[in-house]
Amino acid sequence: MLRKVLVANRGEIALRVIRTCKEMGVRTVAVYSEADRWANYVSQADESYLLGPALSRESYLRIDKILGIATKAGADAIHPGYGFLAENADFSAACAKEKIKFIGPPAGAIRAIGNKVNARRLAESLGIPVVPGVSQHVDERSAMDFARAHSFPVLLKAAAGGGGRGMRVVRNEHELPRALREASGEAASAFGDGSLFIEKLVEFPRHVEIQLLADAHGQAVHLGERECSVQRRHQKLLEESPSTALDDDLRERMGQTAVKLALAAGYQNAGTCEFLLDREHRFYFLEVNSRLQVEHPVTEMITGLDLVRHQMLIAAGEKLPIAQADVRRRGHAIECRICAEDPFSGFAPSIGEVTGVRFPTGPFVRVDSDLTVKSRVTPYYDSLIAKLIVWGEDRPAATARMARALRECKIVGVQTTIPFHLQILQDRRFREGRIHTKYVDDEFDLKDVKAEHRLEAALLSVALEHHRSGRRAPEAAPQPLSAWQTSLRELS
């Protein structure tokens, strides 16, 4: 069994992992940037170490620093959470070299299936239908050749990572050069890898993903699907399970396809196989996210399984304790991603100090968040500040419970997407399950902020945050917090 786990992430996912570790009797190590010095998750770990400055490339993306702290703290395992280094094969390989368990897939599996170009090639070799595209990294010339041959619109996608980062829809030749630069730069900043590939854009599909668990002994199971079609600019806003588009036969065929792909790649740990579903209910392989998903609580709510616990058991070398026939799904679950954004001003980012928080409670309501009073929402990281998850015996019951929970949820000091989530839940098309990936754009009149104005706002936010923080002190060698410091954080 694992003894001490370093969580190489921040915010709600770091706290989520720390909680399961506590329940399993495993000690935890948190790492934090200067911007996260007073974050709640830092005080909840048994030990905490300064990782570096606020910018992720100088902190949460520094493999050398993270491994140095893991060695210093005596951690025998690292959980990467999601984002940052979670799907980085070099990080997984570096952990193995240092004889530290990586709570995720081995490097070989990440290269085979976590990289989206390689995953497409593997799917094609197995006869799994894929969206027409180029299964290799593209530059401007090769992307233009593909777009002209298959006609616009096309979709540029980051080969590494996920979550909509490094993704751009291109509708004509004029847009392509700029889209390539922006997508590559965004992917490099988010994942440390700016390589891209290209696909034909499938108009009005549904986005359905299958949750997987696979051990090191050749066993794999799927835990059903999550519907992720409610999204904007390729960013998911709301996820649910089961999908209103799937019947039992289609669900099983998609699940077995995901298991087939995972076994062929020698995949281990938790992962998600994503598909596009067209209007004729034909599914196409999209990608594999070789990590824990943001929306994993949806699956936990309908199966009763703790996915982080299973991740840790698999990393420790244990066999899966469940077979496919043991998986039971019950009821309906919905997750709303609450972000620090103003949905009525083009989803412009909102930063500042949180002066009040009241999260909802009641039957079958769960909140995953690191937010507390005096938390600072900064411009340095993703705008996700909380995940609200509910369960109901059926979809109408879950929808009503989510609406009630959203109305109870109060976050003061920053703008949030809560009002927009309430609008979605009240929308007739959502209630009837008639959704697709362009549903939000079609159904809601959202005034978007021009790209140059978003850039100006981001630069101003960074400048204000830097001014507030004052001049940085020279970076010191990583030191753990004392018991007095930890107690002070919990009392603040």
Are 398 and 168 in contact by the 8 Å Cβ rule? The answer is no
Mean pLDDT of 459-488: 50
What pLDDT score does 450 carry? 47
The confidence score (pLDDT) of residue 490 equals: 44
* pLDDT score recorded for residue 296: 98
**Average pLDDT, stretch 368-383?**
95
Q: Which of 249-253, 326-330, 479-483 has the lowest mean pLDDT?
A: 479-483
57-74: b or e for each residue (b if 16 or more CB lie within 10 Å)? Answer: eebbbbbebbbbbbebbe
Q: State the amino acid at position 101 in one-letter form.
A: K
- Residue 245 DSSP code: T
Is the model's pLDDT at 441 over the cut of 60?
yes
pLDDT at 237 over 50: yes
pLDDT at 315: 97
Percent of the chain with pLDDT over 70: 90
Residue 474: the pLDDT is 43
Of the residues 16, 291, 366, 376, only one is catalytic, namely 291
- Asked if residues 290 and 87 have their Cβ atoms less than 8 Å apart, the reply is yes
Top-level class of domain 206-443? alpha beta
Which of 123, 115, 124 has its CA nearest to residue 89? 115
pTM: 0.84
C-alpha span between 448 and 443 (Å, rounded): 14
- d(C-alpha 441, C-alpha 427), whole Å: 13
Q: Is pLDDT above 90 for 101?
A: yes
The answer to which of 111-120, 257-266, 409-418, 473-482 has the lowest mean pLDDT is: 473-482
State residue 485's pLDDT score: 45
Give me the pLDDT at residue 449, please.
46
Lowest mean pLDDT across 164-178, 365-379, 463-477: 463-477
Question: Domain extents for the chain?
Answer: 4-103, 132-200, 206-443
Whether 480 shows a pLDDT value over 60: the answer reads no
Structure tokens at 253: 């065929």
Q: Is 291 a catalytic residue?
A: yes
- Distance between CA atoms of 310 and 103, rounded to whole angstroms? 10
CA atoms of 256 and 261, how far apart (whole Å): 9
Residue range 141-170: mean pLDDT, rounded? 87
The tokens for 117 are 């170009």
Whole-number Å distance between alpha carbons of 167 and 206: 17
Q: Does domain 4-103 have CATH number 3.50.50.60?
A: no
Q: Please compute the mean of the pLDDT values over residues 434-454 and round it to a whole number.
A: 74
Q: Tell me: pLDDT of 438 over 80.
A: yes
Question: Measuring CA to CA, how many Å separate 303 from each of 298, 321, 385?
Answer: 9, 14, 25
pLDDT score, position 132: 83
* Structural tokens at position 263: 């076994």
Confidence of residue 137 (pLDDT cuts 50, 70, 90): confident
How would residue 135 be classed by pLDDT, with cut points 50, 70 and 90?
confident
Same fold, 4-103 and 132-200: no
Say whether pLDDT at 234 is over 90.
no
Give the N- to C-terminal CA distance of the chain in Å, as an integer: 35
Which class in CATH covers the domain with range 132-200?
A: alpha beta
pLDDT of the residue at 470? 57
pLDDT tens for 45-69 read 999 999 999 999 999 999 999 999 9
**467 pLDDT more than 80:** no
Q: What single DSSP character describes residue 480?
A: B
pLDDT at 188: 87
Average pLDDT, the chain: 90
Cis? peptide before 153, omega within 30° of 0? yes
pLDDT at 193: 87
pLDDT at 463: 59
Q: What percent of the chain shows pLDDT beyond 90? A: 77
- Residue-wise pLDDT for 184-212, tens only, equals 999 888 888 889 989 888 888 999 999 99
CA distance 437 to 203: 8
The pLDDT of residue 233 = 82
pLDDT bin (cut points 50, 70, 90) of residue 241 is very high
Of the pLDDT bands very low, low, confident and very high (cuts 50, 70, 90), residue 469 is: low
Instruction: Give me the helix-helix angle, 140-150 and 176-191, nearest 10°.
Output: 120
Average pLDDT over residues 338-360: 94
pLDDT of res. 459: 57
